[in-house]
A and B are shown apart, each in its own frame.
Chain A
Amino acid sequence: MATRVTRRPIHEDLGLSADDIRSMYRTMVTARLVDEASFRLNRQGKAAFVVPVSGHEGCQVGTAWALERGRDVWLPYYRDVAVVLVAGMTPCDIFLGLFAKADDPSSAGRQMPSHWGSRRLGIISHSSPIASQMPHASGIAYAMKFRGEDSAVGCWFGEGATSEGIWHEALNFAGIHEVPAIFVCENNHYAISVAQSKQMAVENVADRAAGYGMPGVVVDGNDVLACYAAMKDAVARARAGEGPTLIEAKTYRFFPHTSDDDDRTYRSREEVEEAKHHDPIHKFEHYLRDAGVMGKDEVEPIAAEIKADVDRQIDDAWNAPDPDPDSLLRHLYAEDDPA
């Protein structure tokens, strides 16, 4: 059975400075404000499609923070706004994708928004079919081990992904070859509308880790430091050649699956409101206050400052050029690419 992390983490014990946790907090708030702005833009008719992150900021920032830019490789899925912020994307990059602009770093306006990718940042491009990135993670991790690197792969997905055969196939291979991969399940209990109870007969995704010969860890996904702690241990194991880990972060999505979904058809408002009492951002604010790292009166100014910055980046992205229609036929093969 999976290990359940219950100990309340303390940032100093995890090697995090006051500046580190302030940065983590700001990244979570940025993700939330990007989300709220994106929905606003959707309702204004400026953004055709939005995949929200709200509710997942804790598990995303907490797990992603344990990887290193320029060293490790990130395989996010479509809800991972905060993961790609940690990996180095800017809000402007995200809005360039949202508006399908020529400079969208992920796909130059070819893919739907939130289909992340950037070779420069080590963010591996992914598609829409669920769990299709899983074997890529195992293959990259195999190559890291093959090349004698002390780098690691982070691979994120929802609990619905764990029903796909390729999810099993990828973890199975990772376990056999003890590759440096960390598989992070952001379990928000719904795959669009299908509840976890109809997705699996077990309580914890992480319990399945036993079937792949790797540790499984269940963690409170709304506790950013708990997520960081679990990921930090897993990354250390990966770098030490001790193989992969499956982490399950229990969390909740506050918004519908996407801007085209209506979650009132499958979740009660009471359930959603109750979940908001466990908002990872509020939870972290309490911690920061208790630790003396941030004053209560700082919350609003920080949010206002980040919002002004996000709004400016929205304008930059909105004013960027659209793709050239002639680009439709380019980049099918390498010979189509200029050197």
Chain B
Amino acid sequence: MTEKNVVTAIHDTLHERMAADERLVVLGEDVGARGGVFRVTQGFLEEFGERRVIDTPLAEGAIVGLAVGMALHGLLPVAEIEFADFIHPAFDQMVSEVARMRYRTNGDFGLPMVVRAPWGGGVHGALYHSQSIEAFYGHVPGLKVVVPSTPYDAAGMLRSAIDDPDPVLFLEHKRTYRLISGEVPDEPYTVPIGPADVKREGTDLTAVAYGLMLHHCLEAAQRLDQEHGISVEVVDVRTISPLDRETILASVRKTGKAIVVYEDNRTYGAGAEIVATIAEEAMFDLDGPLVRIGGPDVPAMGFASNLEHAFMPDADLVFERMLELARF
């Protein structure tokens, strides 16, 4: 076991897979000489060479589309979108090509490829370096969309994503990169794509979250236990699509109360689907109203610290809403 932060866990795992499999290539903006703006591919160019570590032209549609071609001809591309906010030019490739190559060919073609994208706020990224994109792609059948939030899950799920015969959008929350550390096994292991994970067991209410919000929920749950003796179960969604409804519903049926927290714009966010699932499937198991915390419906967070803070739910807000729900 080694204590690592999220970004180091991702770097080390990607490095391990690059060293193990000659077919693996990374491509994206600044992944070569610069080693990635977040340093995820630091040292890769020197070690693996420019054939396998490809500094692409500044064109996100091409980055994804080239990865499609590489995946179709025997390579295992791991494409990096420098910031998730910049993936929009690749939306057509993601939706029309990546997501439906297998479906539209009746299973004749498959695309073993990964698209990594740092997402989320709390880093003074303002309107174009802070956004959440999981709902756009969670809506698209054929894509697997994952949001690991701990070093252990990030490393394990990255191995699963690379091994997966289908395309995976691998979302890395930027604020967790260096904020969140944890024990990571030194030997390779995998964390499957699909299953959610109960990160903290509890009996009084269920919190469902991912990304930075997961950590706010864990912090709030800890305080509720210490200060009020309230037992909160925290479910880490981990995979946005396909969504593990069973784990979420099992927890809600056990506790009878649910709060769903996400930092994306509230309306049509991934949390809306989770809330709808609970409402559809577990209505008669509920002892209180379904609570949803999301970002406001404005384009994104502002650059000014107080504007960013006003946009993002924090542990205090989550704590208050949990307490309110527990007392209902």
* Chain A interfacial positions (CB closer than 8 Å to B): 73, 105-108, 110-111, 115, 117-119, 124-125, 127-129, 132, 134-144, 146-147, 165-166, 169-170, 172-173, 176, 327, 330-334, 336-337
Measured between beta carbons, the chain A residues less than 8 angstroms from B64 are 135
Could you tell me if A172 and B105 are in contact, using CB atoms closer than 8 angstroms? Answer: no
> Closest CB of chain B to A233's CB: distance in Å?
24
Measured between beta carbons, the chain B residues less than 8 angstroms from A143 are 69-70, 72-75
Measured between beta carbons, the chain A residues less than 8 angstroms from B56 are 173
List which B34-71 residues lie within 8 A (CB) of chain A.
Answer: 51, 56-57, 59, 61-62, 64-71
Please report the total number of B residues contacting A with Cβ < 8 Å.
Answer: 42
Q: Given A142-B70, A143-B73, A166-B61, do A129 and B96 touch, yes or no (CB 8 Å)?
A: yes
- In the complex, the chain A residue whose C-beta lies closest to that of B144 is A333
Q: Given A119-B109, A139-B72, do A173 and B97 touch, yes or no (CB 8 Å)?
A: no
Cα distance A11–B74 in the bound complex, in angstroms: 36
Measured between beta carbons, the chain B residues less than 8 angstroms from A330 are 106-107
Q: Given A118-B108, A166-B62, A173-B62, do A124 and B72 touch, yes or no (CB 8 Å)?
A: yes
Could you tell me if A140 and B96 are in contact, using CB atoms closer than 8 angstroms? Answer: no
In the complex, per-residue mask of B74-110: 1 if CB is within 8 Å of any chain A CB, else 0: 1101000000000001001100110011111111111
Measured between beta carbons, the chain A residues less than 8 angstroms from B148 are none
Could you tell me if A142 and B100 are in contact, using CB atoms closer than 8 angstroms? Answer: no
- Whether a CB of chain A sits under 8 angstroms from the CB of B288 is no
Could you tell me if B70 and A132 are in contact, using CB atoms closer than 8 angstroms? Answer: no
> Closest CB of chain B to A169's CB: distance in Å?
4
> Closest CB of chain A to B92's CB: distance in Å?
6
- Whether a CB of chain A sits under 8 angstroms from the CB of B156 is no
Could you tell me if B92 and A147 are in contact, using CB atoms closer than 8 angstroms? Answer: no
> Closest CB of chain B to A244's CB: distance in Å?
13
- In the complex, the chain A residue whose C-beta lies closest to that of B165 is A334
Could you tell me if A132 and B57 are in contact, using CB atoms closer than 8 angstroms? Answer: no
Could you tell me if B75 and A146 are in contact, using CB atoms closer than 8 angstroms? Answer: yes
Of the residues A73, A169, A336, contact of B62 by C-beta under 8 Å: A169
Cα distance A169–B164 in the bound complex, in angstroms: 28
Measured between beta carbons, the chain A residues less than 8 angstroms from B68 are 135-136, 139
Cα distance A110–B100 in the bound complex, in angstroms: 11
- Whether a CB of chain A sits under 8 angstroms from the CB of B142 is yes
Of the residues A107, A140, A144, contact of B106 by C-beta under 8 Å: A107
- In the complex, the chain A residue whose C-beta lies closest to that of B101 is A125
